């Protein structure tokens, strides 16, 4: 199937493009402060994956960071749409009437659209509570839609794993099941905490926890696509 090769080739770029873009923004804002006209934007000595010293949006929204971030996210959104369309074709090839195929496509494309909207408005400042809420809702919608699409896709592939056994490395399908399960568990456990107003939680500063969780969760979400690349065998 040509669609398998397309999914395999696209998925690695869905991992590489955002990973490089986000970390490039981090390096720029922490190591090349002279590039930033507004010195209030710069950040010193942080590894946010561990210390939560800054959020992803904090590193990506100032100029010139957004010149890297926004095009990369637009490209990622385009690749995501192609990815979910190709997966629909693969599922229909193996099971023409699978109940999850439309759900996978809907949530997958919806996540790509939410990512695009979030990227468009990143860095645009309005001192308005509704606008701030809108941005948070869009980001939350991206995460929810993305995880739901991943969960439906993994469960679908697992349901006919015997039919696709000659096309896949099964251990990576199992790893995808574990990964998505962990992402869902972390989301369920952390959303009530990070949704609390303010940053104090029984004397514990949630600000750094929220930031570190954001960076680590980001890696978890895009690692799904790295595992996709490793899962599918190259179809001759």
- Mean per-residue pLDDT for 123-135? 74
C-alpha to C-alpha distances, 103 to 41, 98, 158, 212, 220, nearest whole angstrom: 41, 10, 16, 31, 22
Q: What is the pLDDT of residues 41-59, one digit of tens each?
A: 889 889 999 999 999 999 9
Which pLDDT belongs to residue 158? 94
- Mean per-residue pLDDT for 172-181? 97
> Number of structural domains, the chain?
1
- Mean per-residue pLDDT for 71-81? 97
Which pLDDT belongs to residue 197? 62
Long-range contacts: 84-91, Cβ < 8 Å, 24+?
84/108, 84/109, 84/112, 84/149, 85/109, 86/3, 86/6, 86/7, 86/10, 87/7, 87/153, 89/3, 90/1, 90/3, 90/4, 90/7, 91/156, 91/157
Which pLDDT belongs to residue 235? 66
Mean pLDDT of the chain: 90
pLDDT of residue 236 exceeding 60: no
Identify which has the larger pLDDT, 192 or 94: 94
Which pLDDT belongs to residue 168? 93
Confidence of residue 198 (pLDDT cuts 50, 70, 90): low
Question: Is residue 89 a part of any domain in this protein?
Answer: yes
Q: Which domain holds residue 59?
A: 2-231
Nearest Cα neighbor of 109 from 136, 140, 87, 133 is 87
Comparing 90-99, 105-114, 165-174, 213-222, the range with the smallest average pLDDT is 90-99
Question: Is residue 227 a part of any domain in this protein?
Answer: yes
Which pLDDT belongs to residue 206? 80
Confidence of residue 183 (pLDDT cuts 50, 70, 90): very high
Identify which has the larger pLDDT, 153 or 125: 153
Which pLDDT belongs to residue 112? 97
Question: Is residue 141 a part of any domain in this protein?
Answer: yes
Percent of the chain with pLDDT strictly greater than 70:
92
Torsional class of 45: left (φ above 0), alpha (ψ -120 to 50), beta (otherwise): left
- Mean per-residue pLDDT for 164-186? 95
Rounded CA separation 91/101 (Å): 7
Question: Is residue 236 a part of any domain in this protein?
Answer: no
């Amino acid at each position: 199937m040509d669609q398998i090769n397309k999914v395999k080739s696209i998925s690695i770029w869905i991992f590489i493009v955002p990973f490089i873009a986000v970390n490039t923004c981090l390096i720029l804002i922490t190591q090349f402060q002279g590039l930033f006209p507004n010195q209030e934007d710069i950040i010193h000595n942080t590894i946010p994956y561990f210390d939560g010293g800054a959020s992803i949006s904090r590193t990506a929204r100032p100029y010139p960071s957004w010149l890297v971030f926004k095009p990369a996210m637009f490209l990622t959104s385009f690749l995501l749409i192609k990815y979910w369309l190709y997966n629909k074709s693969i599922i229909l090839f193996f099971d023409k009437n699978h109940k999850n195929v439309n759900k996978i496509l809907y949530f997958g494309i919806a996540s790509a659209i939410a990512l695009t909207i979030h990227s468009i408005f990143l860095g645009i400042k309005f001192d308005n509570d509704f606008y701030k809420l809108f941005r948070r809702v869009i980001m939350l919608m991206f995460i929810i839609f993305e995880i739901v699409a991943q969960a439906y896709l993994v469960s679908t592939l697992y349901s006919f794993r015997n039919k696709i056994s000659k096309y896949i490395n099964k251990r990576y399908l199992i790893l995808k099941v574990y990964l998505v399960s962990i992402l869902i568990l972390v989301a369920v456990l952390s959303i009530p905490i990070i949704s609390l107003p303010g940053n104090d939680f029984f004397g514990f500063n949630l600000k750094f926890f929220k930031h570190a969780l954001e960076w680590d969760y980001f890696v978890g979400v895009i690692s799904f696509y790295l595992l996709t690349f490793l899962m599918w065998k190259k179809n001759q």
